[in-house]
Structure 1
């Protein structure tokens, strides 16, 4: 496959500030829903999702859980230092494991007001925890790579408890406001279970326990994947050549049951959110790697799908290769990373439909939407703007079908 030339200007649109949803609606499922199928657009309510999905659908959710990744410290001089957790470094790079650590951990971070923080200086904060106080310490150990060591004075509690007790909800920068108490629950899906994301898989924010139950009653099957959303999801494309954009790497975890469900339901897979799309499509390309004898590591580079090949295996063969590999290794869960970059020219291998919000102009996510809709993405976004849809993380929803 030859990588197509992509002009970023073709994927820009004007998003007025007043169209950005700064706060969630009172009820999760009260949002609007734009339905696109076979070129036809209809405007509904999110609660209609139960009627729109065929009963033979396999609905795939991302069950990652947002951690309060923004930690605030105060120097003795009064200077405020803000540390945003990005990627774990030590004692493990696996997010699910480092969150359970009960001893010092090192993270790659973003640091606000870093000029005020001296090399080797230890910042101290005191946080309430179960009726007592814990001292949390932060030490800048590598300024260039922004690596920070965190330690605390209670060996009985894990890092995830420390973060939950002390951190702030990492709201997207475009909301341009401080988090409030409501964000702790609303910037989180009702089915989130695996801590590690620093941004929510926002397409899932519309689901309620009641809607999930109605979907099950209809016979719709469900499966879970985990992609820990990174802060890179908000990174705008700045490169003149879109393919040169430094695509962010994100960790994924998928269990054997989900792989088996995908195999049994090929042709009927609908994903909740772009993160679930990226995960399932990544798995296809991992299967390709296994079939091509390119190693055991689950790691998909951003342009791997666009490399020239004489032929490609079917979705079934690719997923079967993963299942065989997992069984041979005695693995119940497969873990790895993905940088997959989905832009026009890409052909979807697994996903047939997508539930998603409305995304930032000129972003990697708009490119993904344009891959699904072709030139119709402009018409869809134009109709959403004209019909007063709310945009971005706390905004309204859409159900888009791939032709």
Structure 2
């Protein structure tokens, strides 16, 4: 499949800079999975119970977003440094992605606190790290065990930050820490939110439960690769990023014995479930795994009957996955996106949603 097939024009003002308030007021486009000729229904997230049936099973990603973005300065040159925490290989080392000029081994970086003042937390650049993330460094941290909580900012995607700059919006990080986290987030490890889950409040979950709609949790820690553009000529040639995920074997048994539909809330939940169902059933069930699953049109879904997801960036693997769930593939998806744009839907992480059933 050619990557340019996943291109579409999006007006700059269609990028959501803040979430709907309340969350359930986000718009919802409901699309048939079986018949491309059926016109979509336009509703709200609050209407979701009306489109589900008793014993349908919603699967959420319970990963918690880390305050992974940070700012500071190079104490040798005085130059500004921005970066993103990726992981902690040991108690006193981090792997980070850095945006700065003239970085060298043994450089000493002092980090700012959330107010922009020196935090007292520093790190020393040890060496560039090997792995999926280009430009990443291994650093030795000089600070307390909760250093990331002290210096970290919400790791909003670049397109939200750019849209805010265009709109001259200055929004406190405390607001984003609240907004950019699902109501059911548990295990910390993501550097981006599983955004479809952001639409759900405890009240909505209670209303769904009252209608006998079931739910379950998987875990996939979202990495920086989720924002990586596809730069290859074909989507299949894209070097797919690896992500850590986990799904209980008991959930797989529930899915196999289902009496209702199995609906993934978000592409990360979908990737987790389908990765586990692709394993050899004769082998022991792994507690966790690293997945590089790429889902494109023509994919045979092993476990899922539906998908709730936001509107995604052009030329992305996420668009390819959503197109794989639609009866009309990529052209169907682009027609739906064009209709959403014409109707004023809001796009990307803080935007509106599509339900494919």
- Structure-2-length-normalised TM-score: 0.87
Contact 1:25 1:31 in 2 (8 A): yes
Query: Is 1:276 paired with 2:269?
Result: yes
- Rounded Cα–Cα distance in structure 1 between residues aligned with 2:129 and 2:246: 30
Please name the residue that 2:167 is paired with.
none
2:100 to 113, 116, 119: 113
2:2 to 1, 7, 15: 7
What is the Cα deviation at residue 123 of structure 1?
2.3
Alignment: residue pair count: 333
- Rounded Cα–Cα distance in structure 2 between residues aligned with 1:169 and 1:150: 22
What is the Cα deviation at residue 268 of structure 1?
1.7
Query: Is 1:122 paired with 2:122?
Result: no
2:299 to 331, 343, 346: 346
- Rounded Cα–Cα distance in structure 1 between residues aligned with 2:313 and 2:143: 42
Contact 1:171 1:179 in 2 (8 A): no
Please name the residue that 2:133 is paired with.
none
Contact 2:53 2:260 in 1 (8 A): no
Contact 1:168 1:179 in 2 (8 A): no
What is the Cα deviation at residue 114 of structure 1?
4.1
Closer, same or farther: CA 179–80 of 1 in aligned 2, 3 Å: farther
- Rounded Cα–Cα distance in structure 2 between residues aligned with 1:220 and 1:150: 47
Please name the residue that 2:79 is paired with.
79
Contact 2:60 2:216 in 1 (8 A): yes
Please name the residue that 1:30 is paired with.
25
Q: Which runs of 5+ in 1 are unaligned?
A: 1-5, 92-102, 292-320, 327-332
Query: Is 1:370 paired with 2:326?
Result: no
What is the Cα deviation at residue 83 of structure 1?
2.1
1:235-268 deviations in whole A, cap 9, x for unaligned?
A: 1111012211111111102223323322332762
Closer, same or farther: CA 261–165 of 1 in aligned 2, 3 Å: farther
Query: Is 1:395 paired with 2:348?
Result: no
Q: Which runs of 5+ in 2 are unaligned?
A: 131-135, 165-169
Contact 2:194 2:222 in 1 (8 A): yes
- Structure-1-length-normalised TM-score: 0.78
Contact 2:70 2:111 in 1 (8 A): no
Contact 2:195 2:350 in 1 (8 A): yes
- Rounded Cα–Cα distance in structure 2 between residues aligned with 1:379 and 1:134: 49
- Rounded Cα–Cα distance in structure 1 between residues aligned with 2:110 and 2:264: 43
- Rounded Cα–Cα distance in structure 2 between residues aligned with 1:188 and 1:78: 34
What is the Cα deviation at residue 222 of structure 1?
1.0
